Each structure stands twice: as C-alpha cells, then as structure tokens.
Structure 1
Amino acid sequence: MDDKKKEDYFNKVYKNIKNKGYHTTAVLEEIDFTPFAYSTGIFKNFKIPELFISGLGPNLSGELIENYVSKFKFAEVPLHRKIQNLSDRFAVYFISLKNSDVEEYALTSVKFYENSNYEYLQLIFPDLNGKFPNEVGYNYDQKVLGNLK
C-alpha cells in the first residue's frame, strides 16, 4: 500500500472512530487464509476490550461488533460464558487475548493506540452443528488466538 492509500485509510479510520466511536477492519478470505475482522477505538471510547473475530465474513463480523458495543459498552463483558442474544443466528462467547496474540493481525489498532494501554477479546462462535472449538466434533476454520480453558 502506498503512502497516499495509507493516509486515506487512516483518515477513514479516525473519522469512523470520531463519529461512531470505533472502526471495523475486515480482512477477506483467500485460498488457505482464514478471514478475520477486528475493532479499533472501542477500548478508548466505550471502556470495554476491542473485539477480534476469525472465520466470519465482513458483514456478519461488523454486525457482531456493533451488537457487542451496544450490549456491553461501559459494562463488564462476561468471559467463557455462552451469550445467547448477541446475534439471532447463534450463541457466542468471549475469551481474553494478550496484545501479543493479536498484534500481527490488528495493525490498525497497533498504530491507533501506539504506546497506550488497550485490551482485546476474541469472539468464539459455533460450527454449523452448534459445536464450539473446545467441543468434540467441532468442524470449522476459526483461528483461536487465546485460551479456550
């Protein structure tokens, strides 16, 4: 990406964070590459961890991030507990991540926060049979960065 495209991209990021409170970055699926999406600005503006989602497309990931902000902003986010009402499609749960787990993926957040403190959670979702990654028979391409416990 050339310097002009980077400048335009980060201008869009900062505008979204100013107007909406956060920006969603989505990286699309390619051959042998799992898609992912993540937020930037949520920790600063809503006092909850940023969110990382692996294995879902950009529209659904964007919807889940939006619902996450609406439901949990300025509140405690439950970890390792199934949440039934974040999406009308399936239950999810959240696991904590170290920044080092996500820094190679969440480059926009790394740049935005620079040396400031921030935190990330990963949204974990079930496969098409309703099984989660820590359950026998799970079958889906979701890269889990943190500890499922």
Structure 2
Amino acid sequence: MQEDKKALYFKNVYDNISSKGYHVTAVLEEKNVTPFAYSTGIFENFNIPELFISGLGPNLSGQIIENYVEKYKSDKIQLNKKIDDLIDTFPIYLIKVKNDDLLEYVLTSVKFYKNKKFEYLQLIFPDLNGKFPNDLSYNYDQNIIGEFQF
C-alpha cells in the first residue's frame, strides 16, 4: 500500500511539472518540526533556482512560489537584497543555499533531478514585528539553511 501512495504522489508531481512547470511540496508543522515548502521543476523549466521556504504555511508558500516564478522567469533575481514586490504583506530576501544542506528537506527534487544539476534559493521573511533574522530581538521559527548576512 505504501508503494501505491508513493507512485500516486510522484504521478501528481510529474503531472504538475508537466502542466504548470513546477510542483510545490509542503511539509506541515508538527511537534519539534518547523513547516516548510519547496519547489521542484522550476530550474529545469524556467532556468531559475528552485525555492525553499521555512516557517510559513502551505497556502502562503504556494502563492509565494507562484509569484516568484512569474516575476523571475523574465527578470534578474536580486540576491541578498530586500525585495518589496514579491508579495503584498511583507518584504523578503532571497539567499543562496547549497544543495547538500537541503538534501534532507527536498527529497522530491532529489528524486526528480537525479544526477542532473539544479540550484536552490531560500526565501527569508521578517517576524511579526517586521524584524529579520539579523535584527536584534528577531523572534520567529524559521530554519535558515543558507547564509543570511546583511
């Protein structure tokens, strides 16, 4: 039965990549697990890095990934700079992440790309008071995998 579920899941992944160019995987919050979401297929289909988001729910993460694809498939990505126009509610930063640092998170992408090259960026967002992880008194459960220094 487990193999049937896996096959159905990956059929859904490949169908989404085929129809819209990418798939979003979301892992929900559990005790001692920060929720996260990530894309698969963006690098292959739009030639921009995949996106990893830690600490936001699946609906918002999905919307952000959709906005990211629409904006950057034809625009230069600004790394390590505050971006105010990706979503309405708060500014973000995009930082580079080494694939090896994400391997335990992005299993769908690892399976999809196999031995092909792919890249990831991580989206960094502020806490509820507008503070980023490098600000004093930042307070939010966001796993930062890449290097965030501004």
TM-score, length-scaled by structure 1: 0.98
- Could you say which residue in structure 2 is the equivalent of 1:142? 142
What is the CA deviation profile of residues 108-131 of structure 1, one whole-angstrom value per residue up to 9, with x for unaligned ones? 000000000000000000000000
- Kindly state the Cα deviation for residue 74 of structure 1 after the two structures are TM-superposed: 4.2
What is the CA deviation profile of residues 7-63 of structure 1, one whole-angstrom value per residue up to 9, with x for unaligned ones? 000000000000000000000001111000000000000000000000000000000
- Could you say which residue in structure 1 is the equivalent of 2:9? 9
- Could you say which residue in structure 2 is the equivalent of 1:90? 90
> Which residue identity is paired with 1:58?
P
- Kindly state the Cα deviation for residue 75 of structure 1 after the two structures are TM-superposed: 3.5
Name the CA distance, whole Å, in 2 between partners of 1:109 and 1:10. 11
Q: How does 1:1-149 map to 2 (within 5 A)?
A: 2-149=2-149
Name the CA distance, whole Å, in 1 between partners of 2:103 and 2:111. 10
SS at structure 1 position matched to 2:96 = strand
Gapped runs of 5+ residues in structure 2? Answer: none
> Which residue identity is paired with 1:99?
N
What is the CA deviation profile of residues 53-82 of structure 1, one whole-angstrom value per residue up to 9, with x for unaligned ones? 000000000000000000001443110001
Aligned residues: 149
Name the CA distance, whole Å, in 2 between partners of 1:75 and 1:90. 20
- Kindly state the Cα deviation for residue 137 of structure 1 after the two structures are TM-superposed: 1.0
TM-score, length-scaled by structure 2: 0.97
SS at structure 2 position matched to 1:44 = helix
The RMSD of aligned alpha carbons is: 0.9
Name the CA distance, whole Å, in 1 between partners of 2:61 and 2:3. 28
